[in-house]
Amino acid sequence: MLVQLLHLSFNRLMLPRQDTVEIFSTFIQFDNDRFAGWATDTRLRRSMRQSLSTITTVNSASFWALYWHQIWQHQPTGLAREHLTAYLQEVCFWSATKTITGFSSSQYSVADCFQVAIARIDKVLKGFDRERGFNLKSYASITCANLIRELLRQQKEIDICSDWSLLRKLSQKRMIEALANAGLDRETIEQYVLAWNCLKTIYVPERASSTRQLPKPQPETWLAIANLYNQERHLQLSSQEAVTCEHLEKWLLICVKAVRSYLFPNVASINQPKPGYETGEIIDSLVGVDQSPLVDMIAQEEIEQRSQQHTDINQFLTAIIKQLKPEEQKLLEFYYALGLKQAEIAQELNTKQYSISRQLSRVRKELLLALAQWSQSTMHISLTSDILDNISSLLEEWLASYYDSN
């Protein structure tokens, strides 16, 4: 608990960006695992200044996030994506910082997890629904944390698996994706997948609980795998050359290498020096796309109306939070602001985990009921099951955003 608080406090030396142009045109720089400053992309800075001169009535970051997201949907590889990547720098940083402290041991640092989140920015942008979500930052905060946690869990599982255990745990879809990612052609992938299926058929551990540390198959097992492969190749492959045990072992080790590389690629910072140059960074070489004519077609009134709705929701929920009992507010702060797990909160408050779980559920239910009733009376929304699910997701995003900014 103390280590987590110190880690978060240390990293809070990062000064948040205030200027709209900076928010959409600067990127985090790291010194080892620490925040070192903001790097400006001059091309994005020019783009933002031009956009602000075109639309002078609004200067809020939330408005421009919706603005660029709408353009991104039409041009996923254009300037809009780069502006949104800059906008979500702080979200990815804090998601990485809070998530990494929840794992007792990991080969990944905060900078690594930050790059993992940034590398999956398209998944975040694709999942965000402007009609439902409270704002992009709150949605991205939850999504990035989930993506990083899933990677860390997978990494922990993969790290303790032997090569042969890993092969048994994979799905065929994941195996094919990994081999394709390694650049192998279709015929080679078919051969490797057949070899892998023969391994899984023949080499079955005696006890399911011992599958994490499976040793290399014995010679007689390799012979049985090779015999099965040579029987099945006539039915499943266009290339029907017989293979030996040595061939199969070599192929399967190539599969292992491809899978580990696919699941956990090396993470490189775009702020690293360019190879062969004493000055300059990789980010300086990124090529963008000129401003699109679609910018002028954005429905500004629609975005402004949605921004006003979000402002109304924020004011309502802020007032409701302040009406909660002090112990309920403290519980939400532990869970959302500090990112503590239920067991950690229970230890901090000297109570049982199931008690914390019930209290959190009750407080969330109260907030959800209040927001649903307000939506029905103020926005005249019919409360169908789908609408309630959307309101529940919106509430979760809002809570993450509210406590992250306080």
pLDDT score for 133: 54
Asked whether residue 358 carries a pLDDT value surpassing 50, the answer given is yes
Buried b (16+ CB within 10 A) or exposed e, 231-254: eebeeeeeeeeebebeebbebbeb
pLDDT score for 89: 93
What DSSP string runs through 39-69?
Answer: EE-HHHHHHHHHHHHH--S---HHHHHHHHH
What's at 257, amino acid-wise?
Answer: K
Within 10 A of 24 (CB to CB), how many other CB atoms are there?
28
pLDDT digits (tens, 9 = 90+) for 312-324: 778 888 888 889 9
The whole-number average pLDDT for the span 369-390 is: 69
Asked whether residue 11 carries a pLDDT value surpassing 80, the answer given is no
Q: Is residue 228 very low, low, confident or very high in pLDDT (cuts 50, 70, 90)?
A: very high
Rounded distance between C-alpha atoms, residue 389 and residue 394, angstroms: 9
The whole-number average pLDDT for the span 394-404 is: 77
Q: Is residue 95 very low, low, confident or very high in pLDDT (cuts 50, 70, 90)?
A: confident
Q: Is residue 176 very low, low, confident or very high in pLDDT (cuts 50, 70, 90)?
A: very high
Please provide the average confidence, as pLDDT, over all residues in the chain. Answer: 78
Whole-number CA gyration radius for the chain: 26
The whole-number average pLDDT for the span 335-353 is: 87
Look at 291 and 118; give whichever has higher pLDDT.
118
Asked whether residue 379 carries a pLDDT value surpassing 70, the answer given is no
**pTM of the model as a whole:** 0.48
Asked whether residue 24 carries a pLDDT value surpassing 70, the answer given is yes
